[in-house]
Amino acid sequence: MAVRPKILVIEDDRKMSAALVAGLEAAGYDVVAANSAEEGFFLVHRMHPDLLLLDLTLPQRNGLDILKQIREEGIDVRVLILTSHNTVEDRVAGLTTGADDYMGKPFSFPELMARIDALLRRFLPSAPVRAIQIGDLDIDTRTRVATRHGEKLDLTQREFDLLLYLAENNGRTVSREMLARDVWRETSRYTPIDNVIDVQVARLRRKMDDPFTVKLLQTVRGLGFSLREPQP
């Protein structure tokens, strides 16, 4: 990557802000944090970030206010709102004011990473991937066939979807909430399907990892799952 994408975090909670900065920097972004709306607004003009992570409840000035002004001035920046105000109405208000995405606190960090990637990719859409390769695992997205070591895996529809989703996330950890929403298409946050996901992942593991010595599907305790070659 020639130029690292710049991210501005406007968040008044210092702990949250520090954690976000550390996490994003570790992921290879150029990150600057602002603790107030005014400072954030100043930095938007100074550093021209590619992406803005915006908390809505800021001292003195509301986050939506800043967003409105940014959009009125026609500044080209992707905006992801992070807030604990998480009703449908809040979401609608945020998105109609000009946010590109909206995440309710508490969110999972892997999911935040996935959304940031999606937002930054949005303007340079890559051609749909035909094949994904992770170690000796090959996935053909068109024929929907997965092989390991040249050996075809006998997967159900859902197992393939799950594998593909994990593979598309390119080694990043995927949380259960993400799986519930994107693979199982559960819109309600209240639906208790964590054990469904766990059982499904266990089955997938039985089919694609158990017969082989190299294990690709990792469980990250407290976070979720990732599909990657184990570090030596």
Partner 1 sequence: MSLLRPANLRSRLTLWYVAVLAVLLLVYAALVFTFQYGVLTRQLAHDEVQDIVTVEGLLYFDTSGSLQLHQDYFSRPQSHVLVDRLMEVRDLDGNILYRSATLHDMPLGGPNRKAEGDTGFDERVVRLQDGTHVFLVSHIHVLQGHVLLIRLGYSLKPLRIRMMQFLLLLLVAIPLALVLAGAAGQMIARKALRPLDRMAIRAGSMTANNLSDRLEVPNPNDELGQMAKVFNHLLDRLEQAFSQLQRFTADAAHELRTPLAALRTVGEVALEREHDEEAYRDALGNILEETQRLSQTIDSLLLLARAETTQPGEQQTIFAVSELTQEILELLSIVIEEKRVTVIEENDRPGRAMVKADRSLLRVAILNVLHNALKFSPPASVLRITYTYDEAQPETMRIAFQDAGPGIAAGDTERVFERFFTSASPHTATQSGTGLGLSITRLIVNRSGGEIYFDPQMDAGARCVIVLPTVIGA
DSSP state of 174: B
Q: How far is the CB of 91 from partner 1 (least distance, A)?
A: 14
Cβ distance to partner 1 smaller for residue 78 or 115: 115
Name the burial class of residue 73, with classes exposed (0-12), middle (13-18) and buried (19+) by CB atoms within 10 angstroms of its CB: exposed
Q: How far is the CB of 125 from partner 1 (least distance, A)?
A: 32
- Residues of this chain that interact with partner 1 (CB under 8 A) are 106, 158, 184, 187-193, 195-196, 199-200, 202-203, 220-223
β partners of residue 219: 225
How far is residue 175's CA from residue 187's CA, in Å, rounded to a whole number?
Answer: 15
How far is residue 12's CA from residue 229's CA, in Å, rounded to a whole number?
Answer: 38
DSSP state of 184: S
How far is residue 36's CA from residue 27's CA, in Å, rounded to a whole number?
Answer: 24
The H or E element spanning position 145 is: strand 145-148
Q: How far is the CB of 94 from partner 1 (least distance, A)?
A: 18
Cis peptide leading into 5, omega within 30 of 0? no
Q: How far is the CB of 159 from partner 1 (least distance, A)?
A: 9
Which residues lie closer than 8 Å to 28 by C-beta, 6 or more apart?
A: 1, 4
Cβ distance to partner 1 smaller for residue 187 or 213: 187
What are the phi and psi torsion angles at 134 (to 5°)? -130, 110
Q: How far is the CB of 199 from partner 1 (least distance, A)?
A: 5
Cβ distance to partner 1 smaller for residue 57 or 191: 191
Cβ distance to partner 1 smaller for residue 104 or 135: 104
What are the phi and psi torsion angles at 219 (to 5°)? -100, 125
Q: How far is the CB of 106 from partner 1 (least distance, A)?
A: 5
Based on its alpha-carbon atoms, the radius of gyration of the chain, rounded to whole angstroms, reads 20
Cβ distance to partner 1 smaller for residue 59 or 106: 106
Q: How far is the CB of 196 from partner 1 (least distance, A)?
A: 6
Cβ distance to partner 1 smaller for residue 26 or 127: 26
Cβ distance to partner 1 smaller for residue 131 or 202: 202
